[in-house]
Structures are given as structure tokens and as C-alpha cells.
Structure 1
Amino acid sequence: MPANPLSTDARRDWLSLLARTAPDRLAAVLPDLPDHDLLRAPETGTVMVQGRISATGAPFNLGEMTVTRCSVVLGCGTVGHGHVQGRSRSHARRAAVIDALMQTDAARDLTPLLNALQAGAQTAARHRAAKAAATRVEFFTLQRGEDA
């Protein structure tokens, strides 16, 4: 995460991490939620997921994905938002509370915990990539004598 916890890039990064982290791991980071009010109670809906042919071509609609969103406000007036894949209302609420806390002085305490989650996610991604790389097949063609 960038050094300035209030930068737009930093917030984008921690919101992404909160959305991708498993609910039980996020609950371990913040087991007890501080006092907060709901601006938008957790609600479940769908979003359209788009893909691109060869990652650069024309976009196409891949299908719908279930998401849950929530918005909270802390006692100090800081607003937090959480959007997570699936139907976990508690996950969306916890993500929103952590987003709000990361915009306050509590970020000093939460940043090392989120950095540990990020490191774990990167390790898991490298493990998946190595496992996939082990199944890679290299194709080659032999040149026939009459083609030379």
C-alpha cells in the first residue's frame, strides 16, 4: 500500500483487498465492529461482467455476478463503502467499516494487518501461477525434409 493512506490509489487498493479477502480472514482483522450507522444497509444484487477478446479486443458481456454492497458512517462522520462478491452481508458491512476506519487515525493500526492480508494474497497467487505453469505444454513443429 502507498505511504499516504488517504490517497485515491491507496483507497482503491485497500477496497480491492477487502473485496477479495475471505470473510473469515477479514473477521480476524476486525473481530468487533466499532459503533457505526448504516447509510445503506447490506443489499444483494447483480452486476454485468464484461470481458475482452484477447484482453484488447471489443468488449462483450460475459454474464452476471452476484454482489453485496453496504455503506456506513462512523461517529466522527467518516463514510465507508463495501462491495463484495457473493451474498455475505456481514462481509460487505465489515469491508465498509474497515474502509471508513482506514480514512481515520485508526489506519495506523489497520495498515500492518491489511499489509499481511495482501502478502498472503500475493503468496497464494504465486502458488496458483506456479501450479498452472507446471501444466504448461510447449508445442513445436519438426521441419520435414521436402519443406527445406
Structure 2
Amino acid sequence: MTQQTVAAGRESLADGERQRQRWMHALAMAETDVLAGAWQQWAPKPEVEAIRGPEAGLVMVRSRVDAGGAKFNLGEATVTRATVRLHGEPLAADVLGTAYVLGTDLEHARLAAIFDGLLADDAQRQRVLSEVVTPLEEQQLARDEARRADSRSTLVDFFTVSREHE
């Protein structure tokens, strides 16, 4: 293999990783009832078999001083994980889906894992992206923008306050 082929392979792998990170972020940040509604409307549904969990546990959150210095333990966070196997119609082959979400919502982790499994199936990926992931990302973007606008409304210009007292 040439260096160009290896580099192209790394780029495509990196693109695939970025895409998966994007959709897993949308699924992890979604409201459970939104995911439940999307799954309830999904047809035809494949068979879902629990492989691991859903189960809640603790993870140690680590950080760095000044984002690049010495590592230190920041604290613990509760995380729920689930792994499922999807098989049967409409899938061509068995697929696995895995999800980790902050908190103890077992159903959220299970539903996120189901949609991750559907995203692993080439024939189902575009449907999941258009019907589930993209609307979730749009909702999250609108929610984030509303929070930013709310934060901007409380901005205080301390230079102005200081000038008033001169």
C-alpha cells in the first residue's frame, strides 16, 4: 500500500468516527420520551436482544491542569450503558448497538443503543439519520440557542457600571 492509500484510509476512518460521535451525541443528549416516541413509530421493528444491561454505574472523570498539564481526578459521574443485538426484518444481518448516557435512565440507554444498532445497518442508516438524528440535532440546537440568548440577556458591562460611579 502507498502512503496516500494509508492516509486516505485514515481520513475515511476519521470521518466515520466523527459521524458516529455526532449521532451518538444526539442520541445521548435526547429526551427519553422523544426516543421512545421515535421507536414506537418505527416500523417494521427488528427483534431486540439485550446483550449487556442496561445498567448504571460510576465512572471517574479525569481532567488536566490548563487543558494540557498534569492529570487529576475531578470526581465521579453516574453513567448508564446498554448493548443490544438487533436481528430479523428489516435488517440484512445481525447488528450490535451500544450506548452510554449520563445519569441513571435505563430506558434512555436502551433506546440509544437500539438506534445505534439501526445506524450500523447500511440500509437503515439514512432513515434513522433523517427521521431521528437530524430532528434531535435541530431540537438541541434550538435549545442551546435559547440558553445562549437567556445568558446574553443577563450580561453586565462592568466598565459601564464603573463609569457611572466616577
Normalised by the length of structure 2, the TM-score is 0.73
CA-CA distance at 1:51 after TM superposition: 4.4
- 2:39 corresponds to which residue? 30
The percentage of aligned residue pairs carrying the same residue is 34
CA-CA distance at 1:53 after TM superposition: 5.5
Q: 1:46–1:128: structure 2 CA closer, same or farther, 3 Å change rule?
A: same
Which of the pair is proportionally richer in helix?
2
- 1:145 corresponds to which residue? none
Kindly indicate whether residue 104 of structure 2 is the aligned counterpart of residue 103 of structure 1: no
- 1:139 corresponds to which residue? 158
2:144 to 125, 135, 141: 125
Flag structure 2 segments of 5+ consecutive residues without an equivalent: 1-14, 88-92
Flag structure 1 segments of 5+ consecutive residues without an equivalent: 1-5, 143-148
Counterparts of 2:70 and 2:154, CA distance in 1? 29
What is the one-letter code of the residue matched to 2:124? A
Q: Give the CA RMSD over aligned residues.
A: 2.3
1:121-147 Cα distance to aligned partner (Å, 9 max, x none): 0010011011011111122255xxxxx
> What secondary structure sits across from 1:118 in the alignment?
helix
Q: Which stretch has the larger CA shift, 85-94 or 26-35? A: 26-35
Counterparts of 1:128 and 1:54, CA distance in 2? 26
Counterparts of 2:156 and 2:72, CA distance in 1? 29
1:16 to 21, 25, 28: 25
Counterparts of 2:52 and 2:127, CA distance in 1? 26
> What secondary structure sits across from 1:136 in the alignment?
coil
CA-CA distance at 1:43 after TM superposition: 1.0
CA-CA distance at 1:77 after TM superposition: 2.1
Q: 1:51–1:129: structure 2 CA closer, same or farther, 3 Å change rule?
A: farther
Q: 1:53–1:123: structure 2 CA closer, same or farther, 3 Å change rule?
A: farther
- 1:90 corresponds to which residue? 107
